[in-house]
Amino acid sequence: MTTTHHVTCPLCEATCGLDVSIDGGRVTGVRGDAADVFSAGFICPKGASIGGLHHDPDRLRTPLVRRDGELAEATWDGAFAAVEAGLRPILAEHGSDAVAVYAGNPSVHNLATTLYGRVFFKALGTKNFYTASTVDQMPKHVSVGYLFGDPLAIPVPDIDRTGHLLMLGANPLVSNGSLMTAPDMRGRLRALRARGGKLVVVDPKRTRTAEFADEHHSIRPGTDALLLFALVHVLFAENRVSLGRLDGHVAGVDEVRELARPFSPAAVAPVTGIDAAEIRRMAVELADAGQAVVYGRIGTTTQAFGTVASWLVDVLNVLTGNLDTPGGAMFPRAAAGPGGRRKPFRTGRWHSRVRGFPEAFGELPAATLAEEITTPGEGRVRALVTVAGNPCLSTPNSDRLTAAIGELDFMVSLDVYRNETTRHADVILPGPGPLERPHYDLALYQNAVRNVANWTPAALPTDLPQEWETLLRLTAIVTGQGAGADIAALDDFVAAGIAGRAGLDVSVAAGRTGPERLLDLMLRAGPYDLTLADLEAAPHGVDLGPLTPRIPDVLCTASGKIELAPEAVVADVPRLAAELTGPSDQLVLIGRRQLSSNNSWMHNVEALVRGKNRCTVQVHPADACRLGLTEGGVATVRSRVGKIEVPVEVTDAIRPGVVSIPHGWGHAVEGVTTRIAAAHPGVNSNLVTDETLLDALSGTAVLNGIPVEVTPA
């Protein structure tokens, strides 16, 4: 008998509703859920292949423990005993900083790791805490931290009501949106244009999104902050600054006016590659559009001026009166969330040991992990815990990290595959697949363009422990209670803490345990007085309406105002001004995302890797001619740190002087058991990205704009 399960897809930020048909334990069909309150039937190739992921025979279903150098199947008790034997002596002798953590991207797409990862990391208490954020969006946390006082107060484009969207360094028709949870971006952008609105894309490549847009500006990589400053310059020069209802809530406007003075359109044009008259027009149209919004993503964050660029995006939203107003950039109000006001944001509460890099938002740069392992001395990292992360493919100069991992005394990975990173672990603890666990997009609803809430019960049973149980066992191990500790009692303790902070009696969620109980408490404490039972009664989700203004409530700066010219950001402006000296003819590498990829980990699903090799270096015809490269030939791409050989794809979609290689490939390594991925290996682009290039303010790796040399192989 076929049953249909309404499931929120956990594979990217769009949170689409899926109808998954299951017969006798087998997934027989996956369609977009037309009744989903948010996605209304939208689905992409990854969501459609969730059954392939579930049934993948290479997905781990038993813990693996290293014995005599080889990873072998073990019992859960045996695996936890091995973790205890590996971690306890290191903690006892060297303290918690000797154990580093890398929490990867899927850990925020998983309710158990989102909620209980926090518990484990806090119990471990290491300063060597690394996540995908420092190869991704940390500049945004830092910039909004300074602007609004809260690193989680990220405004998102009010895409369904805006009349003008200026988008930089994002390709949502492929990525399905990021820091902007919005299923069916094509539909939403089509609607924008149908109501007479305009989409302007700034990207070194004519991407699918750029192709779809009204206007595309092909910018030189890494120069967005210059362009954005020039737009600010024009707003002041042409008297188009208007704070609207934010008047009285903003400090530092005059300082920004002064800061923007040197960045005239004429001054930035030769460096950005965008004509001065065009820049002026872009600014004026943005200001005159009424409801308009500026939005920047990966292309603006994983670059040398990531924080300054991210800051300027919101400076423009403030100066045009578009922050916190319908059709502008707005703060979501999620049904459940971190809650409770924090102290005003600051960075640098501790520093990385070797390079002295300041902590940001509790994290150190992932690009510094290798040196923390290999540099001898007090405080050296001796053990590593990865949670849903594949840093050996995802972080810059990954060869160096891979070599460093070889020097660890102990490594444990919570992961669903034995892949390029987890193959090095002493213990791999597998978690259930996406259909075998309950789901609620706690993290991504914080960035949703509409307030919604959707609960997904597990569609299929599993013999595996849920990851929250595994994380509580690890918590027991690092706190000295031992792997045999009473997990239920620990869970009660966690729940009581959340209830206490929310002013609730934990017994209101009686009868529930694990993430269900925590979520029920968080919903009850949230702004809509929902309970988990309300969501259980609404399998297609609950629509909580469009975004509503939140200033001044959302602000948590010391002044209680928007700090438009934060000291730390202002101090980085001279570094940017130094770029005005002139254009460079250095060839640079950028990345790109692909519809059927998911960073490093979904290449083991046949349906997603079929067809021609997608891991190519894209080169403009003029560069191909100049460099002697031909379509289908192989190029050697060299940087300071390494070289790779990649098939050439000649296309005029890419800007001359720029080449593009997607990340997340490079599966042809020893010791992985992902057979399909190994048969479609591609090349790891992070063998040429440089771990010494970081955005100064956030420690985020520069993954776009890497100087390279390209020659025929």
Ligand X SMILES: Nc1nc2c(c(=O)[nH]1)N[C@H]1C(S)=C(S)[C@@H](COP(=O)(O)OP(=O)(O)OC[C@H]3O[C@@H](n4cnc5c(=O)[nH]c(N)nc54)[C@H](O)[C@@H]3O)O[C@H]1N2
The residue ranges that bind ligand X (CB under 6 A) are 12, 104-106, 110, 132, 135-136, 168-172, 174-176, 178, 202-205, 207, 219, 221-222, 224, 297-300, 302-303, 387-391, 394, 414-417, 419, 431, 590-595, 597-601, 663-664, 685-686, 689, 703-705
Three-state SS sequence of 368-407: HHHHHHHCCCCCCCCEEEEECCCHHHHCCCHHHHHHHHCC
Residues 1-60 contacting Mo ion, CB under 5 A: none
Residues 126-145 contacting Mo ion, CB under 5 A: 136
> E-strand spans in 240-363?
250-251, 292-296, 329-330
Q: Is the CB of 321 or the CB of 657 nearer to ligand X?
A: 657
For residue 207, the partner it binds in ligand SF4, Mo ion, ligand X, none, with Cβ less than 5 to 8 A by kind, is ligand X
> E-strand spans in 83-163?
99-103, 129-131, 156-157
Instruction: Tell me how far, at minimum, the Cβ of 663 lies from ligand SF4, in Å.
Output: 17
For residue 43, the partner it binds in ligand X, ligand SF4, Mo ion, none, with Cβ less than 5 to 8 A by kind, is ligand SF4
Contacts of 129 (CB under 8 A, 6+ apart): 100, 101, 103, 121, 362, 363, 364
Query: Using the rule CB under 6 A, is 147 a contact of ligand SF4?
Result: no
Instruction: Tell me how far, at minimum, the Cβ of 220 lies from ligand X, in Å.
Output: 8
Phi, psi for 389 (deg, rounded to 5): -140, 150
Contacts of 414 (CB under 8 A, 6+ apart): 113, 385, 386, 387, 388, 428, 429, 430, 431, 467, 470, 471
Instruction: Tell me how far, at minimum, the Cβ of 43 lies from ligand SF4, in Å.
Output: 5
Query: Using the rule CB under 6 A, is 456 a contact of ligand SF4?
Result: no
How far apart, in whole angstroms, are the C-alpha atoms of residue 495 and residue 522? 10
DSSP string, 517-561: HHHHHHHHHSTT---HHHHHT-TT-EEEEE----TTTT--STTSS
Residue 208, Cβ density class (10 Å: 0-12 exposed, 13-18 middle, ≥19 buried): middle
For residue 465, the partner it binds in Mo ion, ligand X, ligand SF4, none, with Cβ less than 5 to 8 A by kind, is none
Query: Using the rule CB under 6 A, is 475 a contact of ligand SF4?
Result: no
Q: Is the CB of 136 or the CB of 150 nearer to Mo ion?
A: 136
Please name which of 244, 234, 256 lies closest in space to residue 320, comparing C-alpha atoms. 244
Q: CB 612: neighbour CB atoms within 10 A?
A: 7
Q: Is the CB of 456 or the CB of 598 nearer to ligand X?
A: 598
Instruction: Tell me how far, at minimum, the Cβ of 454 lies from ligand SF4, in Å.
Output: 11
For residue 616, the partner it binds in Mo ion, ligand SF4, ligand X, none, with Cβ less than 5 to 8 A by kind, is none
How far apart, in whole angstroms, are the C-alpha atoms of residue 387 and residue 106? 9
Instruction: Tell me how far, at minimum, the Cβ of 302 lies from Mo ion, in Å.
Output: 9
Instruction: Tell me how far, at minimum, the Cβ of 204 lies from ligand SF4, in Å.
Output: 24
Which of residues 143, 171, 176, 300 is near ligand SF4 by CB under 6 A? Answer: 176
Instruction: Tell me how far, at minimum, the Cβ of 644 lies from Mo ion, in Å.
Output: 22
Of all residues in the shown chain, the one whose CB is closest to ligand X is: 299
Residues 551-570 contacting ligand SF4, CB under 6 A: none
- Contact (Cβ atoms closer than 8 angstroms) between residue 514 and residue 537: no
How far apart, in whole angstroms, are the C-alpha atoms of residue 357 and residue 613? 38
Give the count of alpha carbons within 13 A of 542, CB side only.
Answer: 21
For residue 470, the partner it binds in Mo ion, ligand SF4, ligand X, none, with Cβ less than 5 to 8 A by kind, is none
For residue 59, the partner it binds in ligand SF4, ligand X, Mo ion, none, with Cβ less than 5 to 8 A by kind, is none
How far apart, in whole angstroms, are the C-alpha atoms of residue 618 and residue 599? 18
Q: Is the CB of 358 or the CB of 705 nearer to ligand X?
A: 705
How far apart, in whole angstroms, are the C-alpha atoms of residue 564 and residue 147? 6
- Contact (Cβ atoms closer than 8 angstroms) between residue 525 and residue 502: yes
> Among 11-19, 345-353, 579-587, 697-705, which window interacts with ligand SF4 (CB under 6 A)?
11-19
Query: Using the rule CB under 6 A, is 14 a contact of ligand SF4?
Result: yes
For residue 417, the partner it binds in ligand SF4, ligand X, Mo ion, none, with Cβ less than 5 to 8 A by kind, is ligand X
User: How far does the chain reach from its first CA to its final CA, in angstroms?
Assistant: 56
Query: Using the rule CB under 6 A, is 51 a contact of ligand SF4?
Result: no
Contacts of 349 (CB under 8 A, 6+ apart): 359
How far apart, in whole angstroms, are the C-alpha atoms of residue 660 and residue 617? 5
For residue 618, the partner it binds in ligand SF4, ligand X, Mo ion, none, with Cβ less than 5 to 8 A by kind, is none
> Among 9-17, 228-236, 372-380, 420-428, which window interacts with ligand SF4 (CB under 6 A)?
9-17
For residue 47, the partner it binds in ligand SF4, Mo ion, ligand X, none, with Cβ less than 5 to 8 A by kind, is ligand SF4
CA-based angle 527:36:163, to the nearest 5? 75
Q: Is the CB of 138 or the CB of 201 nearer to Mo ion?
A: 138
Q: Is the CB of 36 or the CB of 84 nearer to ligand SF4?
A: 36
Query: Using the rule CB under 6 A, is 179 a contact of ligand SF4?
Result: no
Instruction: Tell me how far, at minimum, the Cβ of 581 lies from Mo ion, in Å.
Output: 32
CA 388 to chain centre: 13
Please name which of 478, 572, 546, 58 lies closest in space to residue 291, comparing C-alpha atoms. 546
Query: Using the rule CB under 6 A, is 183 a contact of ligand SF4?
Result: yes
Q: Is the CB of 63 or the CB of 434 nearer to Mo ion?
A: 434
Give the count of alpha carbons within 13 A of 195, CB side only.
Answer: 15
> Could you give the C-alpha distances from 388 to 131, 132, 171, in angstroms and in order?
10, 10, 24
Of all residues in the shown chain, the one whose CB is closest to ligand SF4 is: 47
Instruction: Tell me how far, at minimum, the Cβ of 609 lies from ligand SF4, in Å.
Output: 16
Give the count of alpha carbons within 13 A of 373, CB side only.
Answer: 27
Q: State the pairing for strand pair 383-387/329-330.
A: unpaired
> Among 40-48, 380-388, 421-429, 668-676, which window interacts with ligand SF4 (CB under 6 A)?
40-48
For residue 9, the partner it binds in ligand X, ligand SF4, Mo ion, none, with Cβ less than 5 to 8 A by kind, is ligand SF4
Q: Is the CB of 44 or the CB of 226 nearer to ligand SF4?
A: 44
Q: Is the CB of 136 or the CB of 415 nearer to Mo ion?
A: 136
Q: Is the CB of 135 or the CB of 289 nearer to ligand X?
A: 135
Peptide bond into 647 cis (omega under 30): no
For residue 590, the partner it binds in ligand SF4, ligand X, Mo ion, none, with Cβ less than 5 to 8 A by kind, is ligand X
> Could you give the C-alpha distances from 317 to 186, 295, 372, in angstroms and in order?
23, 9, 39
Q: Is the CB of 20 or the CB of 530 nearer to ligand X?
A: 20
Instruction: Tell me how far, at minimum, the Cβ of 63 lies from ligand X, in Å.
Output: 12
Mutual orientation of helices 224-237 and 276-288 as an angle, nearest 10°?
Answer: 60
Query: Using the rule CB under 6 A, is 444 a contact of ligand SF4?
Result: no
Query: Using the rule CB under 6 A, is 605 a contact of ligand SF4?
Result: no
Query: Using the rule CB under 5 A, is 563 a contact of Mo ion?
Result: no
Q: Which residue has the tokens 């005599």?
A: 68
User: Buried b vs exposed e over 392-416: b needs ≥16 C-beta within 10 Å?
Assistant: bbbbbbbebbbebbeebbbbbbbbb
Which of residues 7, 9, 385, 653 is near ligand SF4 by CB under 6 A? Answer: 9
Q: Is the CB of 591 or the CB of 682 nearer to ligand X?
A: 591
Q: Is the CB of 297 or the CB of 450 nearer to ligand X?
A: 297
For residue 197, the partner it binds in Mo ion, ligand X, ligand SF4, none, with Cβ less than 5 to 8 A by kind, is none
CA-based angle 175:181:183, to the nearest 5? 70
Q: Is the CB of 56 or the CB of 136 nearer to Mo ion?
A: 136
Instruction: Using CB under 6 A, list all residues that contact ligand SF4.
Output: 9, 11-12, 14-16, 43-44, 46-47, 176, 183
Q: Which residues bind Mo ion (CB under 5 A)?
A: 136
